[in-house]
Chain A
C-alpha cells in the first residue's frame, strides 16, 4: 500500500524546496546569525549552503542506490525495520518540529509588526487551516502553487531590495571577517541545517521523474537558495550595523520600513507583506506534508486525509503552547539550526554507510 503523491517536474520541485529553505530569512534567523558571527553573515550562509550541497550529495548517492524509493523505505531496507522505523520517526518529529516552530515564529513576528492586537490563536488557526487545505490537495498542488508564485514573490523581494538601496553603506561590511574566521566557519557548517529542507526531496523522491531529476532539483535548489539568502543577508549587513542587526526581530521587514523617497514613496512594506504571507505558507505546507508523508509510510497508511486533519489539530495545539517569541528565537529556532543537520544529513549518511556495508541497493541505476 503506497500513498499516491502525484508527479511534478524539476521546476516545481526547485520552487517548493527553495521556498521552504528561503522563507526563514524573513524572520528571526538572520538576527541570530548576526549575533553569532557579526557582519559577515552573508558569506557565512554560503559556507552553510556549500556544506548542505555536500550533505545532499550523500542523500543523492543514497537515493541512487535505491531508485524509486523514498527515504522511509530506504531507512527500513538499510538499517533494518526497527532501527529504520526509529530513524523515520526521528525525521518525522524533526519535520513536525520545524513546521510548528516556523508557524509560531511567523505568528509572533506578525503580532510584533502587523497584527498587533489579533490573538495568536486566530493567526495560527487561519494559517493551520490554509496549510491543512494545501496538504489535503496534495504534494503536487503544493509544488505547482510554489512554481506559480515563485516569480511574483521574487519580484516583491527584489523590489524591496532595490528600493532599500538608499540605506546601504558599504563600510558596514567591515571588519570583513566579523567575529573571526573560525567562528564563521564553525557556525557556517553547523547552520547548514538552515538548508535542511532539502530532505523534502528524499521524502518525495518517487514523485520526481527519476534520480537524474532529483539530482538536478537538489543542486539547483541549494545553489539558488544559497545565492538568494546570501544576497538578502548582504543587504541586511549593508543596511544595519552588526550591533543593531543582532537586536532586530525581522531585518527584512525593518529594512522595508526604512524605505523613504519622500511623500510619494514611503511605507512600502505592504509590497513585502505579500511575500511574507505566501512564502511561509508554501514552505511550511511542504514541510508539514513531508511529515504526513513520512508518518503514513511508517505506519503504511495509504489514505493520508484523516491524518492531515488530525495532525493539523495537533499542530495548532503545539503552536499555541510555544507562544513566546524570545523562547522560540533563542531556544527552538536555534536548536533546529544547531542540530537540524542530524535528521537532515546525518541519518541519510548513516543509511548510506550501513547500506554499503550490508551491500543493500543497486550500485548504479538511472
Chain B
C-alpha cells in the first residue's frame, strides 16, 4: 500500500484513503466542436503509460476530498513528489 503525501493535509496518508483518478495534465480539446475524432481519441483513450515517472491524479476521498497530483516511479512505486492541481509539474 502506498503512503501518499497530501499537499492540502500536509501529511503522509495511506493509499486506502485515496481514489486513483488517472493520468494528470490531460487537457480537454479547447474548442470541442472543432476537434476531430483523432483529437478526441487522444484525449479520451490514449495514455502515456510510461515505464518510469508518471504524473497522476489522486482524490483524497476519505480525507480532504480534494484532487491532488503525484509524481510516481511506476517501476519502484516510489512517490517522488505531490503538488496541488494548477501548480507546475516539479
Q: Check if A and B associate.
A: no
